[in-house]
Amino acid sequence: MRLSFQEHLTGSIDCGFLAAHPQGGGCEGGNLAVDVLIAEDEPSILESLDFILRRAGWSIQSVTDGEAALSAVRRLQPRIVVLDVMLPKRSGFEVLKQIRSDSVTRELPVLVLTAKGQAQDRRTAEELGADSFITKPYANVDVVNEVRRLLGEELAQ
């Protein structure tokens, strides 16, 4: 399934088509159903994550700041969030804290992805309820396998 650039950004496509498409997700509450929400502000990393996760078969939406991440979590109801720690407007830690404090999103799997590989960042992410933590630079297969594991899907070989 190929989305136009505008459809990719807005999610405004025919829900009937999506529901009938095997990997297209569907629509919930009038919104495009999304497998993975990526919150990453570095364009090259965002493009890479988008490519590898789409290639693995998931529907993707992305945002580039913490406020947009919180809005998208509520609006899109993704199956998982891949969350960078260093985001403009609100840090990934602030986003994670808000996700965990909301009864609607509390159980949403969150994979924290950051260039900061310091032990303190890992501890903070774990204390705030991150489900997993991967440090950049990362191997593509590690990201795909971690998303699969958190979604309860079979791991790639």
The confidence band for 155, taking pLDDT boundaries of 50, 70 and 90, is low
pLDDT digits (tens, 9 = 90+) for 21-74: 333 444 444 456 799 999 999 999 999 999 999 999 999 999 999 999 999 999
**Helix, strand or coil, per DSSP, at residue 133:** strand
Q: Which range is least confidently modeled, 76-85, 94-103, 129-138?
A: 129-138
Structure tokens at 92: 């990934």
- Residue ranges of domains in the chain: 34-151
Looking at CATH, the fold of the domain delimited by 34-151 is given as Rossmann fold (3.40.50)
pLDDT tens digits, 89-104: 999 999 999 999 999 9
